[in-house]
Amino acid sequence: MSEHLKNEPTSYGYFRRLVQAIVFAAALASASHAAARTLRLVALGDSLTAGYGLPPGKAFPDRLEAALSAKGFDVKVVNAGVSGDTAADGLARYDWAVPKDADALIVELGANDMLRGLKPEATKATLAAILAKARAAHLPTLLAGMRAAPNLGPEYDHAFDAIYPDLAKAYHVALYPFFLDGVAGDPKLNQPDGLHPNAEGVEVIVQRILPAVEGLLKQARP
């Protein structure tokens, strides 16, 4: 048998191991790249998200991103808030406001519906349509609830306040019961209009909602 034939099995085994090593290294590099990818969290909302009346960098998405970064999350919080938006307005712009590469979603809508006295059943149907879109995209979602002002009467209050827990249950999404928890009604944490949080109020909102958002991001695809 020639020397060439004697060495052929050894050469084949060597190259096979070399190819396997290259494939394994490429897989590790790909996994490392995926793990290092910045997550995109979209906050779809109204003026409470947009940062009405606040200095640059002090809106809810900005401060939430900073808080998440301090917790070790590599995440970009996209400000998809538009002042004055109702739930219907949010639904109308959903397809361009929530990009296909989004990893998670916060829905903060309904306050303007309530302030305008819109029928709770209409608001509920619109928010349901938003959640259905998110579900179709397999997008982990946190629904931020709102509460009706007491001057609208007990019947309206009951119907409106039930919107958020009902939808969270129906669409199997996480619920943060009241976006303005700890801030609503406190003059020290609100702007002079009594409706929009000031910079200090935003910090309270962020700290209170933070655990829920951390849980949301853990559901996001890698």
Q: What is the pLDDT along the chain (222 residues), one digit of tens a residue?
A: 545 544 544 555 555 565 465 545 444 444 444 456 899 999 999 999 999 999 999 999 999 999 999 999 999 999 999 999 999 999 999 999 999 999 999 999 999 999 999 999 999 999 999 999 999 999 999 999 999 999 999 999 999 999 999 999 999 999 999 999 999 999 999 999 999 999 999 999 999 999 999 999 999 866
pTM to 2 decimal places: 0.84
Asked if 17 and 11 count as a contact pair (C-beta separation under 8 A), the reply is: no
User: Active-site positions?
Assistant: 47, 193, 196
Tell whether the torsion through CA atoms of 53, 197, 141 and 120 is positive or negative.
negative
Return the closest-CA partner of residue 38 out of 101, 109, 126, 114: 101
